[in-house]
């Protein structure tokens, strides 16, 4: 069973147990024929208090203990570390990291995204060529960073989505071949920052207009710069 917490309501003490009952999967869960994949820990944490989030995690721990099938939780580093600290009181959960993709895996990932989102299957071969060229250019521009930029999943999504949005795939490919970059480092970064802001859309704010003013790209950049300064040695401050 796959649960995307970004698309559900706020989590709490009986989220998992109640969800299994309402979905009709409680019997399968009891018989250990149902495994569970929980995605969106970051978004779930944004919408509730720390106490409610911890109650949700303890509910997961209680129901997942001593089962032959795994319960897998997905999230970014901060959310996973938080979850591990809570779950470690009841279980001994391992933490697995999805690292940056190498060149071949990056191509496969980006092409899979294009294949899944493209509205023009007949244009897939041309779109794939465009993805290959764009990723090759990005790798050349960021070669000193290894896979940490060109192999970063949000970067690959930004490139794939840019290709899919282009109505004339052949024109896009020709432009890339002529050296007219349609995807630059700046445009990729902007796409990632915009994507991060959309994660707030599910927050139940009384003033919905705040969603357009919170966590803007400029605010994210200030936060990133502030965090990076904290890592400098004292003598460099």
pLDDT score recorded for residue 223: 64
Q: How is the chain split into domains, by residue range?
A: 2-87, 103-195, 199-230
Name the DSSP class of 38. Answer: E
Tracing tokens 């465009």 back to the chain, one arrives at 130
- Structure tokens belonging to residue 231: 């890592």
Residue 223 three-state SS? helix
Nearby residues of 44 by Cβ (< 8 Å), 6 or more positions away: 5, 6, 8, 10, 11, 53, 56
Is the model's pLDDT at 211 over the cut of 90?
no
Q: How far from 190 is each of 105, 154, 210, CA to CA, in Å?
A: 23, 11, 20
User: Distance between CA atoms of 25 and 31, rounded to whole angstroms?
Assistant: 10
- Round the average pLDDT of the chain to a whole number and report it: 83
For residue range 98-114, list pLDDT tens digits in order.
888 999 999 999 999 99
Lowest mean pLDDT among 24-28, 49-53, 61-65, 201-205: 201-205
pLDDT score recorded for residue 207: 76
pLDDT score recorded for residue 182: 63
Task: State phi, psi for 94 to the nearest 5 degrees.
Answer: -75, 155
Grade residue 185 by pLDDT with cuts at 50, 70 and 90. low
User: Distance between CA atoms of 168 and 7, rounded to whole angstroms?
Assistant: 33
């Amino acid at each position: 069973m796959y649960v995307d917490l970004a698309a559900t309501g706020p989590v709490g003490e009986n989220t998992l147990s109640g969800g299994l009952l309402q979905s009709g999967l409680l019997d399968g869960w009891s018989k250990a024929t149902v495994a569970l994949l929980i995605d969106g820990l970051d978004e779930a944490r944004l919408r509730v208090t720390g106490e409610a989030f911890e109650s949700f995690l303890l509910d997961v721990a209680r129901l997942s203990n001593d089962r032959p099938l795994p319960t897998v939780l997905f999230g970014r580093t901060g959310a996973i570390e938080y979850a591990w600290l809570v779950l470690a009181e009841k279980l001994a959960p391992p933490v697995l990291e999805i690292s940056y993709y190498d060149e071949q895996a990056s191509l496969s990932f980006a092409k899979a995204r294009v294949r899944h989102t493209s509205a023009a299957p007949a244009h897939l071969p041309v779109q794939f060529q465009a993805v290959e060229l764009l990723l090759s250019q990005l790798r050349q521009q960021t070669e000193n960073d290894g896979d940490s930029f060109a192999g970063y999943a949000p970067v690959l999504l930004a490139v794939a989505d840019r290709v899919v949005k282009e109505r004339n795939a052949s024109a896009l490919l020709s432009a890339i071949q002529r050296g007219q970059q349609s995807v630059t480092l700046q445009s990729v970064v902007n796409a990632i920052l915009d994507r991060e802001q959309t994660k707030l859309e599910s927050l139940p704010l009384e003033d919905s207009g705040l969603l357009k003013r919170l966590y803007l790209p400029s605010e994210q950049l200030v936060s990133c710069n502030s965090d990076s300064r904290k890592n400098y040695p004292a003598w460099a401050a």
